[in-house]
Homo-oligomer: A and B are copies of this chain.
Amino acid sequence: MRQSGRPRKASVDDAILSAVAALVVEHGYTRVTIDDVVNRAGTNKPAFYRRFRNLADTVPHLLARSHGTDDDIDTGSLLGDLNEVQRRQLLLFTDPVVVRGFAGWLADVDGHPDGGAAFLQGYLAPRRAFTRVILDRAVARGEIPDRADPAWIADLLTGPLLLRVVLPGLPPADEELAAKTVEAALTSLGWVRP
């Protein structure tokens, strides 16, 4: 997703992403300008545009920096893995940057398909691919039958939490909701409590 020719300083990347995060929380995504970002980060527009195409393009990097892509989860059991996936998704969907930034960012990438593609490739696809890894391991351990649909399980784990951050007026996602999604996923997968 980066376009630079010459080496870049990681500290500038970090300063830019931290500035975006702070400004989104303070003002909401739609009111953040690149001028604000580079001023806050103590850098300049050319430095920004060597790293990112636009504000939307910072978002997958920002999310990956704060929340990872979950591809290091391996607790040794399906229950443990799904609980850990949801513990992290709960942190993601209650992160003030996501709460204050999500709607504006969505509208922004809606008009810039590149931003959506960067999000898909850099953030969403790896998370969804890792659901398959978790389920394949559970099949290999004999925890569930080999007929799992990873896309459905990813939709089931993420959809209800996403809904709470996206639709106006609903309470934020909480641990109870996350636990219910894990329970529903386990049942849907044919998992039987050992």
Contact = CB atoms under 8 A, between A and B. Distances in A.
A8 B126 CA distance: 52
Given A160-B159, A162-B162, A162-B166, A30 B116 contact: no
A96 interface: no
Interface stretch (A38-46, A72-80, A101-109, A132-140): A101-109
Contacts of A33: none
Interface string A152-185: 1001101111111011111000000100110110
- The A contact surface, by secondary structure, is helix
A4 interface: no
A25 interface: no
Identical subunits present: 2
A120 interface: yes
A167 B166 CA distance: 11
Given A103-B103, A184-B184, A184-B188, A155 B163 contact: yes
Contacts of A119: 167-169
A142 interface: no
Contacts of A164: 155
A110 interface: yes
A191 to B, nearest CB: 12
Given A30-B111, A106-B107, A115-B168, 11 more contacts: A116-B168, A120-B169, A124-B169, A152-B180, A155-B160, A155-B163, A156-B156, A160-B160, A162-B163, A163-B163, A187-B188
Contacts of A183: 188
Nearest to A30: B107
A160 B188 CA distance: 14
B109 A107 contact: no
Contact of A156 (B125, B170, B184): B184
